Amino acid sequence: MLRNRERYNEYMARYMKTYRKSKPHHVKYLKDLREKAVNILGGPICENCGCDVSSLLEINHIQGNGNTERRHTNRASFLRAIVNGKSDKRLYNILCKICNIHHYVESVLQYKGHTVIWKK
């Protein structure tokens, strides 16, 4: 079973490299759309710790249900809804990957007491 998973991961890595080369306009479109959505949601900075490295920032679903939303919509539609004002921006915030995991640990797993500090 693990062998099949490794082969699948290798295939997907090759596929995505080819896809990105063949669709550079789509990749740029998604990047620009994400940047607009991040700016609408408060700018490229983590609301919790102040991290400002854009590659580490994520759009967090404050009330959860991010996985459910991803199953029902694609990335471009999700970002367009935020940019066009069709999604309530109060349902989302910008967090770095670590703070997003921290949010999950506190809200879903109910473990409290941890803090995240960003030092430059």
pLDDT at position 1 over 90: no
Residue 76 pLDDT more than 90?
Answer: no
Give domain limits for the chain: 24-107
Length of the chain: 120
Average pLDDT value for residue range 87-93: 91
| Predicted local confidence at residue 2, as pLDDT | 62
34 against 69, higher pLDDT: 34
| pLDDT reported for residue 96 | 92
Predicted TM-score of the model (pTM): 0.70
How many whole angstroms separate alpha carbon 23 and alpha carbon 30? Answer: 11
pLDDT at residue 120, rounded to an integer: 73
What's the pLDDT at 72?
84
**85 pLDDT above the threshold of 80:** yes
The pLDDT assigned to 83 comes to 94
